[in-house]
Amino acid sequence: MNAYWSGFDLHSHSTCSDGRLTPEALVQLAASEGVHTLSLTDHDTVQGIPRAQVAAKEAGIDLIAGVEISTTWSGCNVHIVGLNLDIEHPVLMAGLKEQQLARRQRAEIIAEKLSHLGVEDFLAKVEAKANGAELGRPHFAQVLVDEGVVATMPEAFKKYLGAGKKGDVKSLWPTIETAVNWINAAGGIAVVAHPLHYKMTNMKRRALLKSFKDAGGQAMEVVSGAQQSRDQTNYMALLAKEYGLAASAGSDFHFPSQWQKPGKVNHLPETVQPVWLLWQDDNDAAKEKETKESITRM
């Protein structure tokens, strides 16, 4: 067992985007599962972070401020996670405001593209389902289930919303470089989310990681979810070493009973540098600098 991994979950979602648990309930579940360090990484919003921080303090665990930003790279929809962020930094706040507008515009386009399905007031029903959260394809999928168009959410994605389907609209997202700049400006660490999730060849995946690294990215998810095989994990670790990227890991938790629980993921290989060491090292350096300045003032 790799001691670096136990107790960390650096990718999860709440009702502030497309998760099913409130930030408070998510934190409580994570704590009950033995997670000692959790990052809430909702899609294109940090709305739930303050609530999660309060809940984490009450539960006695660490909450790492995070976000998952949608981007477009070489015709693919690629997600970039930001960890250990200043959620009030003006550059990040302005960027996420752009994302909120893009999500609204994308939702309007999706509703128009799927209008042939005959769902009346489609967009209004999607907005009601989101209940103030950032609009996403899972909300469309839920409405399609509610309206009897499909039987299950997986069927909705398979037929209408998944990659390459009519409701898969990605052209409104910023570039990877832009998202990484937002994260870096906010003092965070940019991470390529679930690299194996994207339908691309290994050669193209390597090109993605190179572009990300060149843009100032610092880490990649070597472990994402519980369904990843050991061979896949070892391959991700190899790529992390090859491109000089730290290794992150998380459940990508969304739904109770339909998703692995927070923290229930494979261990990181010992050949990689865990991403949390980056901010722990930064914190140690800051404390050392503060101590030296205090001594100088004496």
Query: Which of 65-74, 82-91, 288-297 has the least mean pLDDT?
Result: 288-297
Q: Are 40 and 52 in contact (CB under 8 A)?
A: yes
Q: What share of the chain is helix, strand, coil (3-state, %, to 5)?
A: 45, 15, 40
- Is position 278 within any domain? yes
> How far is 78 from 101, CA to CA, in rounded Å?
18
Range of the domain at 153: 102-161
- Interval 4-44: pLDDT, tens: 556 999 999 999 998 989 999 999 999 999 999 999 999 99
Q: Is residue 285 located within the same domain as residue 152?
A: no
Q: Is residue 48 located within the same domain as residue 132?
A: no
Number of domains in the chain: 2
Look up the CATH number of the domain holding residue 205: 3.20.20.140
> How far is 147 from 294, CA to CA, in rounded Å?
64
pTM: 0.87
What's the Rg (C-alpha) of the chain?
19
- Interval 122-145: pLDDT, tens: 999 999 988 888 888 989 999 999
- Is position 192 within any domain? yes
- Is position 2 within any domain? no
- Is position 170 within any domain? no
Q: Is residue 130 located within the same domain as residue 156?
A: yes
DSSP class of residue 133 equals S
Look up the CATH number of the domain holding residue 129: 1.10.150.650
Q: Is residue 144 located within the same domain as residue 233?
A: no
Phi then psi for residue 78, to 5 deg, are -120, 135
Q: What is the DSSP string of 199-264?
A: ---HHHHHHHHHHHHHTT--EEEEEESS---HHHHHHHHHHHHHTT-EEEEE--B--TTTSPPTT-
Alpha-carbon distances, residue 220 vs 12, 17, 242 (angstroms): 15, 22, 12
- Interval 173-191: pLDDT, tens: 999 999 999 999 999 999 9
Q: Is residue 180 located within the same domain as residue 248?
A: yes
Q: Is residue 244 located within the same domain as residue 283?
A: yes
> How far is 105 from 98, CA to CA, in rounded Å?
11
Phi then psi for residue 230, to 5 deg, are -65, -40
Residue 166, both tokens? 């009519």
- Is position 1 within any domain? no
Give bridge partners of residue 189 from the DSSP assignment. Answer: 83
Q: Is residue 285 located within the same domain as residue 192?
A: yes
Residue 225 has what pLDDT?
Answer: 84
